[in-house]
Amino acid sequence: MLIRATRNCPWNRCLFCPVYKGRKFELRPVSDIVKDIEAAKAISDGIKETAWRMGHGNRVREVAAMFHNQAEFGQCTGHVALWLSAGGRSAFLQDSNTLVMRTPELTQVITVLRETFPGLGRVTTYGRSHTAARKSLTELKELRNAGLDRVHIGLETGYDPLLAYMEKGCTARDHIDGGKKVKEAGISLCEYVMPGLGGRTMSKEHARETARVLNEINPDYIRLRSLHVSPAMTLWTRLQDRDFELQTEDEVVKEIAVFIDNLEVTSHLKSDHTLNLLMEVQGKMPEDKDKCLSIIDQYLALPHEERLNFRFGRRAGYYGTLADLADNHTHEKIREAIKRLKAGDDNVEEALFRLKSTFI
């Protein structure tokens, strides 16, 4: 369930981010947020009552799915229905940096949310490293005691020159201080890393320094979100001006190998975003480090045409893992599609770029 505690992003300058551009950041009054929570509760109760009236009893998820699929019920009802149909166990405080709220006010919001929905298993939010670093440990513990379970932070990179280039608005030291403080407060921490962000010129430093910073933080989760540049991003202009040069997908895979090889954490590494090429490169560190590196080696050892076949199949939605290459029918279908592209005026790499653009 999404509860909008703040609107948009208080920083909103990162070159790689297309979200919230041109929108003013706003801190919402606590009273308005509470009204939203109460409205969600009323909708939730209404759907549950309808389930009983229809003779479905406790089969709320099925009835909620029916509500979600009916546009006439409205966006808010549809959202709560979707939440209930998925189990109704977690809530997320929006938008991009809810930690920027005054601690007493955010504590009040979390408390009301927990009291209104006592069955919640997890309450999470986004936060910036810089904001977390500025919060006192006492404040973060107050948020934890109120019921905040996890904070998601966009680390992106631990390399200071790249952080400055991308106008991230924080330093590696901020990342370390903020992350460690969140962990010390007893809040689960998820850090997001962006493979490819260093481009051709800063790739190795990006991989190694990001691993170094994460080694100091040792977050609970590390999530990979590979870079893709679109015209909606400020970075697009630098790409067109050739001030920034994208890596090939194979080069990004090699960068991820350097990153993983340098990791010394006890974190869960997740590759759960469709922009990542090798979704199966994930696991518990350090136990699954060799497995992850082996998958990368397996991909890089493929002949060029096989790597191209896999890339095209992944971006077109036919392949999920490397093992899918063994599907002869699908493999041949993709091979023929690539052959037709090469025979025509279209460029295979441009076609792949367009496919990736549909994911963001």
For the chain, 360 residues long, give each residue's pLDDT as a single digit of tens: 999 999 999 999 999 999 999 999 999 999 999 999 999 999 999 988 988 888 877 788 888 887 766 655 678 888 999 999 999 999 999 999 999 999 999 999 999 999 999 999 999 999 999 999 999 999 999 999 999 999 999 999 999 999 999 999 999 999 999 999 999 999 999 999 999 999 999 999 999 999 999 999 999 999 999 999 999 999 999 999 999 999 999 999 999 999 999 999 999 999 999 999 999 999 999 999 999 999 999 999 999 999 999 999 999 999 999 999 999 999 999 999 999 988 876 788 999 999 999 887
Q: Give the chain's radius of gyration (CA, Å).
A: 22
User: In b/e form, how buried is each residue of 273-285, taking b as 16+ CB within 10 angstroms?
Assistant: eebbbbbbbbbeb
Report the first-to-last Cα separation within the chain, whole angstroms: 22
Domains of the chain, by residue range, sit at 1-125, 128-301
Is 222 in a helix, a strand, or coil?
A: strand
Contact 227, 203 (CB under 8 A): no
Q: What is the pTM of this model?
A: 0.95
Superfamily assignment of 128-301 in CATH? Answer: Aldolase class I (3.20.20.70)
Tell me the β-bridge partners of 191: 153, 222
